[in-house]
Amino acid sequence: MGAHRQGTSPSVPGTEADAARQALVREIAAQGGLTDPAWRTAFAEVPRHLFVPFYYVRGIGGYERLWGEDPDPGRRSRWLRGVYTDEALATRLRDGELVSSSSQPSLMALMLDALDVREGDTVLEIGTGSGYNAALLAHRLGDAAVTGVDLDAEITESARGHLATAGYRPTVVTGDGARGCPRRAPFDRIIATCTLPSVPRSWPDQCRPGARILAPLATGLISLQVGETAHGPRAEGRFLHTPAYFVPLRGALPEPGGTPHLGGLPRRAAGHDLFRFLLTLAGGTLDPHEALSLWEREKRPQRERYGITVDRGRQWAWLDDPRGPYTWPLPAG
């Protein structure tokens, strides 16, 4: 969608950054990602290093800051290698806690592919962070089609700067992502890059019929199709196969039930990713021992057997069938 100016950090030769970026694209493709040529082109052309001029890595005694303007050429080289490694990057800390990150590129590619955008679609992105994902969307759909929301004014201001440096100008709004962005609605797609306790009620309300919502929830990725009923919008869909771990959506309702107590459960279950997914999805409404019986009886179901329904102010998670017999209420969004 049009030409965009690509810049580089003053301390990073363009050829070095280009070579690192192309190597990352090849790595993601070798893993089976970026099968859509349009997304492969976007990842090949959008310079990730402009969106993470610095980031933090865990070191002895805490976090270490790496940045592209470091006077030490060895540390600058280490920074660039990290930028184009297929890993999430911690981009903002507050009181020692991670509040914003740049997601793992291969997971971003998977999510963008699952979003199933079409020419002319408008997209609302929740959790703009560094602005890199918004740039990929703008590259594919054009600046006018993309709206990003983040709660922190410092984050959105920084994202706008990164986007402008890379030559992209989607709309970036400071606000509570759980409330969406009514003034830019309706949307054809909503994508979140932060973990939710439930689906905010405002999101289906701001969608066109036939829209898709893709969001991390309970260590998975839920893909919802939005339809119109006599009572208003209804959203329903299943989880994707892949696990997903993101920074929580700030401003959303807290996770119900807290962390379940797993004492007394067999170690094979308590430490199993899919069992913990079931417990997190049930949100404290399912006793861990009952959950274990269900999980084993149903032969350790994969994530894609679970789904979520949002309808008339209620929402619930389910296994196999939204009408039961296995359903769990989620908090109202």
Distance CA 154, CA 282 (A): 35
Helix 288-297 × helix 273-282 angle, to 10°: 120
Q: Which residues of 94-124 are buried (b: 16+ CB within 10 A; e: fewer)?
A: eeeeebbbbbbbbbbbbbbeebebeeebbbb
Active-site residue, selected from the candidate residues 11, 77, 100, 102: 100
Of residues 71, 186, 173, 166, the one with CA closest to residue 122? 186
User: Is 9 strand, coil or helix?
Assistant: coil
Using an 8 Å Cβ cutoff, are 102 and 88 in contact? yes
Of residues 98, 116, 92, 284, the one with CA closest to residue 189? 116
Token pair 């306790």 in the structure block, residue:
197
Distance CA 75, CA 69 (A): 9
Helices (H), ranges, the chain: 14-30, 37-45, 73-83, 105-115, 132-141, 153-166, 202-205, 267-270, 273-282, 288-297
Using an 8 Å Cβ cutoff, are 4 and 64 in contact? no
Distances in Å between the Cα of 241 and the Cα atoms of 79, 280, 302 are 32, 16, 7
Decide if 11 is catalytic. Answer: no
Using an 8 Å Cβ cutoff, are 299 and 284 in contact? no
Half-sphere exposure of 91 (CA within 13 A, CB side): 28
Strands 146-150 and 89-94: unpaired
What are the residue numbers of the active site? 100
